Amino acid sequence: MAYTKTITTERLILRKPQPSDEADFFAMHADPEVMRYFSEPPWQDASIAARKLAEDIAAFESEEFFRFAVTLKATGEYMGSCSLFSEHRQNRRAEIGYALARPHWGKGYMQEALSALLEYAFIERDLNRLEADIDPLNTASASALERQGFSKEGFLPERWIVGGHVSDTALYGLLRRTWEARRKGAA
C-alpha cells in the first residue's frame, strides 16, 4: 500500500514527492547558494534529480524515510523539502533535514514547514527525540532550529569533506517534552 501522508499548513502543503518535481528539485540542488552548507556539492547532472526522486518516492512508500516536498498551497509551486530520516524505532529517534529554493528565503516558509514536520514526527511517528546535523557556519539554519526549540548539543570538527573543502558539524537536538512544553506555553 502506498503511503500518501500530506500535511497542510496555513500557506503550505507538505506532500510525497512526485516525478513532476524533478526540474524544480534539480534547480534547487544545482544552486551553489542553496548547497553551500550541504554534505554534497551542487548537482551538475539533471539525472541525479530523477534518481533521487525515485529513491525518495520508494522510501516514502515503504516508510523508510520521508522527504516531503514543500509546496505553496495557493499555486502548488515546489519550494523545497523537509525530511525525517535515520529513524530508530526502538529509541524513538530520528534526524531532520531541509532545503528551500532561494526565491523563497526570508518569508517564514521553512519555519512553517518545520513546525509541521515536528508535529508529524512527535505525534504521528511517536518519536521522543529529533536531531539535526548542520554546518556551524550556517547561521540561518542554526537560527531556524533554535526558533523551533532545538538546542546545540555538540560540535564535531572536520566531519565532512565536500568538493575538497573540510567542514565541521554542529549537532542540535530536541526532546519531545521540550517541544510539548513550548506548545503548551504558546497556547
Secondary element (H or E) of residue 40: none
The pLDDT of residue 187: 59
**Cα–Cα separations (whole angstroms), residue 13 to 107, 116, 123, 153:** 16, 10, 18, 31
Helices (H), the chain: 22-30, 47-62, 109-119, 139-147, 176-186
* Four-CA torsion 16, 24, 115, 162, nearest 10 degrees: 110
| In this structure, CATH architecture of domain 7-186 | 3-Layer(aba) Sandwich (3.40)
Question: Per-residue pLDDT for the chain (187 aa), expressed as one digit of tens each?
Answer: 445 589 999 999 999 999 999 999 999 999 999 998 888 899 999 999 999 999 999 999 999 999 999 999 999 999 999 999 999 999 999 999 999 999 999 999 999 999 999 999 999 999 999 999 999 999 999 999 999 999 999 999 999 888 888 999 999 999 999 999 998 886 5
Euclidean distance between CA atoms 60 and 159, whole angstroms = 28
What are the structural domain ranges in the chain?
7-186
pTM assigned to the model: 0.93
